[in-house]
Amino acid sequence: MYTPLRYIPFIFYKARPIQFTFFVTRRCNARCPFCFYLQNPLTAAEAADELSLEEIERVVRGIGSLLWLSFSGGEPFLRDEIVDITGLFYRYTRPSVILYSTNGLMPERISTRVEEILRLCPGSVITVKLSLDGFKETHDRMRGVNGAYELVMKTYGNLRALLDRHRNLELGINTVLCRENEGEIEGLIEEVTRMEGIKTHTVSVVRGEGLNGISPERYLLVSEMLNKNIRRGITQRYSFRGAALKSAQDILQRRIIYRTLIQRRQLLGCVAGRLTLVMTEDGRLYPCESFTTPLGNIRDSGYDIKKLLDAPSTGDILQMIDDRGCYCSHECYNMMNILFNIKTYPRLLLEYLRLKLHL
């Protein structure tokens, strides 16, 4: 496996992005009211404007090695070339972790593609996160698809069957927390702990429009329940090197997100655009998913990421992030802000020791 320890120098020198998120398509077979893409319906021209495989290869050649690679959308498994796209990233960037966030509505297609990816990328941990927002009626309603719950569970069963054959596969659950499902969230968390083969459970505060949010206090109660399961060894049992440290980071991260929701300000220095980068299906680059001002379009720079990152306008945008102290509850970016900020290490070490000593 590609060890994440090779990125220790980036704690001190933010040389370039090592976390890369690629929205491979805007197309989706769900109708989640909180999705930011749903607020801007896809046109036929936009659907035809996705980066081609040849264009993606030109981009990937200039990225450099990656700690964390994430494929999202839309629904990433609707992209016919998802295996080939993954292969390009694997060949050129050697990611330690490759993450797929999926709604799980295509059981056979997803499990077939995932097994192809597992064979293609033996040096990476392949993490598949299935969306599960509640029990049957609630989940179907939140995803806007009748029968969504049964399809997700079938996909889970198909993927679970792959675990014995592929040691680099890791399964997890993503849950969006909002008013719509807060009444059954504790029961859902308990249900997930009984799902064999599920190693991680992420509960995120709803970030889009269309569903009401919840109070920070409610998020805190849910977080403490999840953290308790980590300490009991029920979830967050990562299979890669540094698993206990990553679990400690998850505990600390939820506390920081809670404080961010309360104080509504940036609590840690943000590495967006320095260590993280987001690319949309049509080639726009952003420092993170939450940022609305693009750094530019990769097509306009001759598919040269370094050229875009070195542009004076990018420096202005990164300075804007620092000056305005933007904040968010996004787990992926808070993860990087914790792991690559030496000021968080005393708290991180404390949580790590508590886990190792089972306190």
pLDDT in tens, 177-211: 999 999 999 999 999 999 999 999 999 988 755 45
pLDDT band, residue 139 (cuts 50/70/90): very high
Distance CA 133, CA 173 (A): 9
pLDDT at res. 244: 83
Residue 92 pLDDT greater than 90, yes or no:
yes
The arithmetic mean of pLDDT across residues 283-311, rounded, is 93
| pLDDT the model gives residue 208 | 59
Is the confidence at residue 292, as pLDDT, over 90?
Answer: no
Distance in angstroms (rounded) separating the CA atoms of residues 270 and 105: 34
Q: Any idea which of 17-31, 39-53, 260-274, 291-305 has the lowest mean pLDDT?
A: 39-53
- Predicted pLDDT of residue 57: 98
Pairing, β 296-297 against β 198-205: unpaired
Domains and CATH numbers, the chain: 4-356 (3.20.20.70)
pLDDT at position 74 over 70: yes
State the average pLDDT over residues 214-236. Answer: 86
pLDDT band of 149, cuts 50, 70, 90: very high
Q: What is the pLDDT of residue 38?
A: 63
